Amino acid sequence: MFENSSEELAYHKLLILYILDKINMDLTNSQITQVVLETEMMNYFSLQQILSQLMESKFVTTHKDSNREYYSLTQKGFETLEYFLGRIPESVASKISDYITCNKENLLADTQVKSSFVKQSDNEFIVNLRVIENQSNLIDLNLNVSSEKQAKLICNNWKNNASYMYAEVIDLLIRDIH
C-alpha cells in the first residue's frame, strides 16, 4: 500500500487526526491508544512516536484537567485533515466511525466524571468533584476534608458512583422538606 516509510508515517498521522476529529472530544493518551489498538490501525510504539510528532508540528495540542492530559485537534490539524481526507480509504474511515459509534459512550463516560484534590495544609485538602455533559458542568462540588486518605476515598467513590450520587444530591435538593 505504501511506497516508503515516510508515506506510511504520514498516513498514520492522518489517521490520528481523523480519530480526534470524528470522536469530537478530547482524549487521553490511553483512550487514543485504545481506539488505535482495537481498530488495529498501528502498533503502540508507532502511535506514541506519531503523537509526539503531531504535537511538535502543532497539529495536536494537550491540556491538563483533573491530573490527566488530554489531546485535541488544533485548527492547523483540522485544516490538514480536511486537505488530505481523501487519502483515507473509505473502508478505514468506516471502521473508525463504526468503532466510535459503538464505543463513544464508554470513552465519554471516562472523561465526564472527574475528581481531584489539592493539599492546602497538613490537615486540609480540597476535593473537587465534577460531572460534565456536553462540555457543561452538571455538578461542580468542592469539599474541604482533613486527610489525604479521606480525599482519595472520596475521589475513588465519586469515580465509581457519580451518577448515583449526582441523582441523590439532586433528589435531596429538590425534595420538599416540610
| One domain for residues 66 and 124 | no
To which residue does cell 475521589 refer? 155
* Mean of pLDDT values over 135-139: 75
- My answer on whether 27 and 65 are in the same domain is yes
Count of all residues that appear for the chain in the document: 178
Instruction: Give the CATH number of the domain where residue 73 resides.
Output: 1.10.10.10
| Position 151 in a domain | yes
Number of compact structural domains in the chain: 2
Residue after which a domain boundary falls, among 88, 104, 121: 88
The answer to whether position 165 is within a domain reads yes
Within-domain flag for 94:
no
Residue % of the chain over a pLDDT of 90? 42
Looking at the structure, tell me whether residues 73 and 18 fall in a common domain. yes
Q: How far apart are CA 61 and CA 33, in angstroms?
A: 16
Q: Are 54 and 60 in contact (CB under 8 A)?
A: yes
Q: What is the pLDDT of residues 31-60, one digit of tens each?
A: 899 889 888 888 898 899 999 999 999 999
In this structure, of 16-20, 109-113, 120-124, 170-174, the range with the lowest mean pLDDT score is 109-113
Question: For residue 100, is it within any domain?
Answer: no
Please compute the mean of the pLDDT values over residues 92-96 and round it to a whole number.
92
Q: Residue 126's domain spans which residues? A: 112-174
In a domain, 98, yes or no: no
| Gyration radius (Cα) of the chain, Å | 20
Residue 67 sits in the same domain as residue 121: no
Task: Report yes or no on 140 lying in a domain.
Answer: yes
pLDDT band at 2 (very low <50, low <70, confident <90, very high): low
Mean pLDDT of 118-125: 91
Instruction: Give a yes or no: residue 106 inside a domain.
Output: no
Contact 79, 92 (CB under 8 A): no
